[in-house]
Each structure stands twice: as structure tokens, then as C-alpha cells.
Amino acid sequence: MFATMACFPNLPGFEYLMQTPEGGHKLSGLPALLSARDYDDVYVYNGDFAWDNQSGFFGNQGMTTFIGRNDFVNPVFSDPTWGVSDQDMFDRGAEELAKNYGKKPFYALLQTLSNHTPYALPKDLPVEPVTGQGRLDEHLTAMRYSDWALGQFFEKARKEPYFKETLFVIVGDHGFGNHQQVTELDLGRFNVPLLLIGPGIQEKFGAVDHTVGTQVDIVPTIMGRLGGQTRHQCWGRDLLNLPEGDQGVGMIKPSGSEQIVGLVKGDRILIESKDMTPRMYRYQLGSEFKAELIESPDQPELLKNLEAYIQTATKSLLDNTAGVVHGTPK
């Protein structure tokens, strides 16, 4: 969440940044950048904002309007652990967008939760449950339900006047690992598609782009589409405005205490861990999912880049220099 909205990377030792004192620092993310442009905001969520200090963190970053589990009246479904269902969340999200249109410019964060273990879904599902996949049935059914709820949201959004003036950004916090773990980092789990839906996006940039990026690239990519001058200290880049031939780059640090990091560049990944010497693979995603161990002359340079990225970002966080104050770097 903090990488996507505050464009600061997940770092070793700070995987739970939103709960730490350092998480109270101002970061150069979407709330800060759009608050400076006088945007209104709304954050709609199935669950409780106290979890992971979401309201505290995002409130400190500049968000003002939070709609959580206790703000839903007569939801279709509510679970004591997770809160209301995705269809409830998206229905309320659609209401908020329609209600806010025509006033000031605004941005909305809609966070889903139904597709998360332990899965809590309505008894009368609007989709056919997935069967025949063994222990994956429950997970795949939750995915199908969440996808249906997202589809229902877009059916409503398309009929609203704001639709043709809105950039929709759809991304997961992580992917879904498969049974093939072809490198020490589970590439299937970290293969996350980013969908951008908005006026002229496909016409200008094409339907599919295989550039490598991570969640920290999302805010710069959004700001690039909004136009106007932007000064930020994001730890990512505008994925739709990279130099010619740049295949993209991304640093991966799994959540939790697992001390392993990876640097993805194009179709290669460099993996570093305390338990092994650094290794580089050439990988391929999709139906031909595979990875092969390779040796590359630029491996030492990439390893230096990976360590420099982590060390510089960590120092910036500790020194509280990762945010922009009044349009100028702090």
C-alpha cells in the first residue's frame, strides 16, 4: 500500500513501515502531490482502517475521507474478520465517485479484500464456484467473485459522466504464486499486471506493454498522464515515458522477515540473499513459465545498483528526506 500510494519501496527491516515511527514521515506520493493541486479524496475499504495503521498513515500523507466497514448500511455480506464484501465496497465506491463528480478534481482509492485468505464470501454467490482444482478451488472462486465485483463497478462507471474524464488504475499488492518456484524468489507471486484505463491510453501507448516496473512506478506514471509540471521524490519512474530501449527495472523485497531481494531488469533477475552468493537468471513468464541460471558480464554492476538503491532509500527514510514540502525537496 505504501509503495503504491506513497511511491516508497519495501525495504529490508521496514516491511511494516506504516506501523513504525519512520512511517510518520512525509513521503512524495499521490496524496501529497494531488493535495498540492487541491484535489479532494476518498478511500473506500471493506475492512477496518486501524489494521496496519492505514488511517494513521494515509491521513498523515494527506488523505481526509475514509469509508470503512462501519460505514456500510445493510451490506450484502459482512465477515467479522475482514468486513464487507467486494461488491459492497465497489457499490459504495461507485456512489462516491458519482457523488463527487462536478465539484473539485478528486482521486479515489478503492481497496478490495474478498480475494484474501481466509476467504469470506457471500453465501449466495453471483458466480459459479470453481471446481476440479483441488485445494485451489476456494482461492480461484474468490478471484472469480472479486473479478465479477470489479466488472459490476465498471458497468456502473461507464454510464457516468466522469468516466470519460477519469484514469482508472488497477493493480494487486502481489500476484498468485504457482507450483513452479523457478528461482529463490517466487516469480509467480511477484508477477502483477498493471491496468491503465482512460481516454486515449491504448491509442497512444498500445494495448499491452511488457516494460518491467513495480508499485513505486505507479505514482510517477499517473502524474505523467495528468500533465502539468510535477516535482516529486518518488522512488520510481513514469513507465510510459522511459528512454528508448529501456525495458524497465524493479527491486523486489518480499513482505515479512524473509531476507532476500531481487533486481529485475528486462528479462533478467538478480537475486541476493544472506544464505547464498548472488545469482542471475533469465526468466520467462506466462504459459511457458521458466528461468535459467546465467552468467552476465554486468552482474557486478547490477549487484552494485541493487545494494545502492536499498542503502540510499534506507538512509533517505531514516534521515526523513523522502518527502517534498511546499513543492521543494526537504
Residue 330 has pLDDT above 60, yes or no: no
Residue 322 has pLDDT above 60, yes or no: yes
pLDDT mean across residues, the chain: 93
Q: What is the pLDDT of residue 328?
A: 44
Identify the burial level of 113 via C-beta atoms within 10 angstroms of its C-beta, where 0-12 means exposed, 13-18 middle and 19 or more buried.
buried
137-190 residue pLDDT tens: 999 999 999 999 999 999 999 999 999 999 999 999 888 876 778 899 988 889
Residue 327 has pLDDT above 90, yes or no: no
Q: What is the pLDDT of residue 326?
A: 43
Give dist(CA 300, CA 323) in Å, integer: 31
Q: What is the pLDDT of residue 10?
A: 95
Q: What is the pLDDT of residue 325?
A: 55
101-114 residue pLDDT tens: 888 999 999 999 99
Give dist(CA 26, CA 149) in Å, integer: 34
Cβ-contact 220, 232 below 8 angstroms: yes
Domains located in the chain, CATH noted: 2-248 (3.40.720.10)
Spell out the residues 6+ positions from residue 270 whose beta carbon is closer than 8 angstroms to its own: 262, 263, 278, 279, 280, 299, 302, 303, 306
Helices 137-157 & 86-100, crossing angle to 10 degrees? 20
67-94 residue pLDDT tens: 999 999 999 999 998 899 999 999 999 9
What does the pLDDT average to over 19-42? 94
202-234 residue pLDDT tens: 999 999 999 999 999 999 999 999 988 888 999
247-271 residue pLDDT tens: 999 999 998 888 899 999 999 999 9
Residue 298 has pLDDT above 90, yes or no: yes
Closest CA to 313 of 9, 17, 5, 2: 9
What does the pLDDT average to over 296-308? 96
What does the pLDDT average to over 12-22? 93
115-132 residue pLDDT tens: 988 899 999 999 999 999
Neighbours of 23 (CB within 10 A): 21
Per cent of the chain over pLDDT 90 is: 82
Q: What is the pLDDT of residue 22?
A: 94
What does the pLDDT average to over 35-51? 94
